[in-house]
Amino acid sequence: MFVAIYRWRLHPEREQDFVANWHRITRLGLAAGSGGSSLFKDAQGRWVAIARWPSREARDRFFAQMDAHDAEPEMTGRARLAVLERLPAEELDGVLDCWAPFPDTTPAPDS
């Protein structure tokens, strides 16, 4: 398993564009074999995402395909405009995977 942790500071008035695009990309990633992702907001207002993949190579292949064939470039553009600052990502190779799925009780953001 491979996990990537991403962090950003976002424009408060554009957060929903970012969340909607993250949700869209996560759904596409799930169809491509990812382990899904979670998106969080910390007490200082930074956004944090944790994404799981079977391997770093699987993640890289997916994003290379997304970059070449994004079906919704306008949505991607709006999400990029939401980013004030992209903080360094952290990439982790799995050693022990004891995560279990939770029932999905979170409503999907407006797409």
- Where does residue 76 rank: exposed (0-12), middle (13-18), buried (19+ CB within 10 A)? middle
pLDDT tens, residue order, the chain (111 aa) = 999 999 999 999 999 999 999 999 999 999 999 999 999 999 999 999 999 999 999 999 999 998 888 889 999 999 999 999 999 999 999 999 888 877 776 677 765
Give the pLDDT of residue 75: 92
Q: Specify whether the CB–CB gap between 59 and 2 falls below 8 A.
A: yes
Q: What total number of domains does the chain contain?
A: 1
Give the pLDDT of residue 106: 67
| Inside any domain, residue 103 | no
Domain that holds residue 84: 2-93
| Inside any domain, residue 107 | no
CATH number, domain of 48, equals: 3.30.70.100
| Inside any domain, residue 34 | yes
